[in-house]
Structure 1
Amino acid sequence: MNERESRSDSPSILLITGLMAAGKSTVAQRLAERLPRSVHLRGDVFRRMIVGGQAEMGFELSEEAERQLRLRYRIAAAAADLYFQAGFTVVHQDIVLGPGLAEVVRYYADRPLHVVVLCPRPAVVAAREAGRAKRGYQDTSAVLDFDRVLRAETPRLGLWLDTSELTVAETVDEILGRLGEARVSGAAGA
């Protein structure tokens, strides 16, 4: 077994974040498929569970949207921790930008955590958005606004990957090959 495989055999939590249309869902699914005993935890599912009173998520968040976003992060961390305790590696995928990234990392302080930030160029994000059935941005200027928050306001934690020229398979290979760079917390050797 090579070093890369031995590091991915121990249960851990991998947080995959980035902008909408950065490829988080696809990369997280493929990454989970490559790991033994793994879970793909989609953080957005907890937002969708709110039936009455769901706050709108967008560039500017209301106080209620902020509360719901933090709740979503806490619930996802709790679910990830339960899977982790059961021996699963959890690939937690969500949009965690700005100071929220440091907050979410603190939820996992006593667990082996790897953070991967997918950060393709804004033009690539806009092109990917145009090819999707769902819409996350009102227009191209919104992509630039979110990209500014990502690059200027998000703490430089973990592994930041410009995936503009990478396929999904190449992105997963990069993540697995550079897990050490993505490590931000947890017990040594886990």
Structure 2
Amino acid sequence: MTRSEQILNAALEQFADKSYEGASLSAIASKVGIKKASIYNHFSHKEELFLSVAKYVYNQYIIEIERVLSHRSNRHAEELILEVIETMTNFLSDKKAGKFYMHFLLFPPIPLKEKVYDHFLNFEDECDRLLSPIFEDIIETFHIDTMSLRDLLDAFYCLLDGITTQMFYYDEKTRNRKRLAAWNLFWSGIKNYAKK
């Protein structure tokens, strides 16, 4: 792990636990084993560090999706999408990354709102690029002509965000039950469109 990555990991923990305003650059430096001034060799100020953490979390999310999709050949779309849901909700239920994502990326500090939103739009474009081929296959397989690719992706993201929120409230058994129930209903809805 590079020094910049060490700083990003320590900053992720600080921002997740203490908020943007409460995060301490001194505590971040201490966690990494460097002096506070050394942070500025990698990040010019706290705002840049926060935005870099946001980008880092988004990149880790994308890496997880790519890992699942790298095993795409000879797998049914249903199985693949369910694995994406399980992987991503597990990733976002991680204490640090999930807390940061759900709080600061959905409700960023006011001064950084526009910049975080721009990062989010780029992130969603990348998710679209990775997931579109699977949903295009579904549209073709089920001969769905009443729902667009954009409709399917939008519904999928809402499902994913809803499940992720549930991950923070319940024990593992209950979380898994709720996730599976939401998935079953979502997939039934897709198959229902094929009958129309």
What TM-score, normalized by structure 2, do the two folds share? 0.30
The higher radius of gyration belongs to 2
TM superposition score normalised by structure 1: 0.30
Q: Which structure shows the bigger proportion of residues in helix conformation? A: 2
